[in-house]
Chains A and B, each alone.
Chain A
Amino acid sequence: MAPASCDPRAAWLMRLGDATLMLGHRLTEWLSRAPTLEEDIALANLSLDLIGQTRAFYTRACELEGGTRDESELAYRRAEPDYRNPLLVEQPNGNFADTIARHLLFSAYAHPLYEKLAHSTDAETGGIAVRSAREMAYHLRHSGEWMVRLGDGTRLSHEKAQAALDDLWPYVPELFEADELDREAAASGFGVDPSTLRGEFDAAVNDVISRATLTKPADSFGQRGGKSGRHSEWMGHMLAQMQFLQRAYPDARW
């Protein structure tokens, strides 16, 4: 699979942006449908943070690449294999427990990632990561508190929370698998090797799982492919919706 950019730093940042874009888009699908008004507002805010982070990652990637592309082109004018997000973030919203479990797993990974990226040799990238890490602490707390409420709630909510965790667990290993691009980015001091984040992820997730009276799924096997452009069937459907306007009316602007 060809790299997503001629510049490895840009390719690495674009992958972060792809993850936040897909998850941010997924959360917008909840708008006006969340269980309560406060939760509707909360999910909208989480989505806004993620799409804002995407814009920052994409914009910096485009600058590093040399400025021939912009954030909109990366978001709306690429094909499915060009996106290199982990499979976890493209999984459908499912029920509320599925969405919350997916968000817990992502934010427990992204929070330590951004905290480490704050020390990037690229000051602009570091600054984006500093702000994003603070936002991700809110995401981790929100999804963690909900997971505890669902797991330690009624018999039905417990069952749904456990099922959500079990269903999504196979998508966890991919988050922490380092490939050549990750190793190169980490070695140069620009980026972070995701395999160094698993300890912090486990600490946060184990804490939530035990408070939620849930059972940690066994590490049996991992679904992988998104980080190298091989996606699950859900991805194409999501892009078709997200990119509809630019496909139907190329170069349309506000």
Chain B
Amino acid sequence: MSAVASADRLKIARAAAARVADPELPFLTIEDLAVLHAVEADERGQVTVTILPTYSGCPAMNVIALEIETELLKVGFPDARVTIANAPAWTTDRMSPAAREKLLSNGIAPPEERAAKRRLFAAAPIVACPRCGARDPERVSEFGSTACKALWRCRACREPFEQFKCA
């Protein structure tokens, strides 16, 4: 296979993998989340997709790996492999600006800009209500419906909302 043809095939493989959505946040792709780390092919043309796990206990990783294999199968890569790499370590800092916009428009406050180094008893981060924009919400719990979310309540509009936790 020529170098050009294999580069094109790799682009197709990458686009297919990038379409896979997070099963718990279906409006976000694994590319938005920066879970998709690399798509590479060896000299025989076998494709390996490397993904970065997010929260240690996140059960979505296995589903994501399975869906990547399915998407690649659809575009002609029946023997593609998915590997999970711990280095580099994933952090919410790796998420794209598009991911933050999508979270906000789906009613979930995005994580703070820089991965929190907040220690014991430090003040809670300032989070804006994704519904009314007021910057005066109260934290209900740092633990929510999934490993990546915290529970908040807006003191202005009184609505509860979730925040994608900083990690």
Contact = CB atoms under 8 A, between A and B. Distances in A.
Size class of the contact patch on chain B:
20 to 34
- A42, A53, A127, A211: most-surrounded residue (chain B CB, <10 A): A127
Given A127-B85, A134-B115, A135-B167, A45 B120 contact: no
A48 B142 CA distance: 14
B120 A208 contact: yes
Interface stretch (A91-99, A138-146, A175-183): A138-146
Interface stretch (B68-76, B87-95, B98-106, B126-134): B87-95
A127 B167 contact: no
Contacts of B120: 140-141, 144, 204, 207-208
B118 interface: yes
Interface in A191-213: 204, 207-208, 211
Nearest to A54: B56
Contacts of A46: 143
A56 B86 contact: yes
Interface string B136-167: 00001111110100010000000000000101
B55 to A, nearest CB: 7
A60 B86 CA distance: 10
A163 B90 CA distance: 40
Contacts of A245: none
Main secondary structure of the interface of A (DSSP, over half): helix
A138 B57 contact: no
Interface of chain B, helix or strand or loop or mixed? loop
Given A38-B140, A123-B87, A135 B55 contact: yes
B56 A38 contact: no
A124 B85 CA distance: 7
Contact of B121 (A45, A50, A128, A145): A145
Contact of B55 (A41, A42, A49): A49
Contact of B88 (A127, A132, A211): A127
Given A127-B86, A131-B91, 12 more contacts: A38-B141, A42-B143, A48-B56, A124-B87, A131-B53, A131-B55, A131-B167, A137-B119, A138-B143, A145-B121, A204-B120, A207-B120
5 contacts: A127-B86, A128-B89, A140-B120, A142-B143, A144-B120
Interface of B: 53-59, 85-91, 115-116, 118-121, 140-145, 147, 151, 165, 167
Interface of A: 38, 41-42, 44-53, 55-56, 60, 118, 123-128, 130-132, 134-135, 137-138, 140-142, 144-145, 204, 207-208, 211
In the A-B complex, the 10 residue pairs with the closest CB atoms: A52-B56, A48-B57, A52-B57, A127-B86, A127-B87, A130-B89, A123-B87, A42-B143, A45-B143, A127-B89
